[in-house]
């Protein structure tokens, strides 16, 4: 499966521009996490491309399922099975919303990073320039502690970076922010 295949699925499932950007942001983050684990000799599953695809598609059917957590990932799962996607990819996508146990680095990574990418976008949008370039690791960590800021963000989910990935929260925020800043033009931020 290629990145282009994943982008086609996003279009087929009628994703809004903002939802596509969310998928892109998490895709960039997943690619960064793959590199991190590879450098640490943690032997990430499959390929960097596969990790990016999981990020791209993790919420592909969120809008067409009317944001129903019960239905979320079902349409994406169906599409991925039709094209013969690896089961590990399907399991990671389903695992990010508790449909399957998160047993792999890939599944644990998409789960921890999903909410953080949303928090980082919220941090950018309150900046006068509304750009990722002006967001700092320190500002994200501060907003993470402020439960009234982006109140719908599941902070406990983000913190699984420490318990499930053995990455400190500070390092995790730094990596996710960097991955998004490097691709800020594609994210429109």
Nearest to 138 by CA among 152, 156, 117, 123: 123
Nearest 5°: the CA angle 4, 104, 14 is 30
Nearest to 94 by CA among 69, 67, 119: 69
Confidence of residue 40 (pLDDT cuts 50, 70, 90): very high
- The radius of gyration of the chain's CA atoms, rounded to the nearest angstrom, is 15
Residue 68 gets the label, from left (phi > 0), alpha (psi -120 to 50) or beta, of beta
Confidence of residue 130 (pLDDT cuts 50, 70, 90): very high
d(CA 170, CA 155): 13
User: Among residues of the chain, what percentage have pLDDT more than 70?
Assistant: 100
**What is the average pLDDT across 9-15?**
91
Domain containing 22 equals: 3-187
Tell me: pLDDT of 68 over 90: no
Confidence of residue 136 (pLDDT cuts 50, 70, 90): very high
- The count of domains in the chain is 1
* HSE-CB of 33 using CA atoms within 13 angstroms: 35
d(CA 112, CA 165): 9
Tell me: pLDDT of 67 over 90: no
């Amino acid at each position: 499966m290629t990145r282009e295949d994943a982008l086609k699925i996003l279009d087929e499932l009628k994703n809004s521009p903002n939802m596509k950007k969310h998928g892109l942001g998490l895709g960039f983050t997943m690619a960064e996490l793959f590199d991190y684990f590879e450098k640490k000799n943690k032997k990430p599953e499959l390929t960097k491309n596969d990790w990016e695809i999981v990020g791209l598609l993790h919420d592909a059917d969120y809008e067409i399922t009317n944001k129903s957590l019960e239905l979320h990932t079902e349409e994406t799962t169906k599409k991925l099975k039709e094209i013969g996607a690896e089961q590990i990819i399907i399991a990671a996508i389903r695992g990010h919303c508790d449909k399957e146990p998160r047993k792999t680095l890939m599944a644990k990574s998409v789960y921890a990073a999903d909410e953080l990418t949303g928090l980082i976008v919220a941090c950018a949008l309150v900046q006068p320039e509304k750009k990722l370039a002006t967001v700092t690791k320190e500002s994200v960590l501060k907003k993470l502690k402020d439960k009234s800021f982006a109140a719908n963000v599941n902070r406990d989910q983000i913190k699984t970076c420490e318990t499930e990935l053995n990455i400190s929260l500070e390092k995790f925020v730094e990596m996710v922010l960097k991955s998004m800043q490097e691709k800020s033009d594609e994210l429109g931020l």
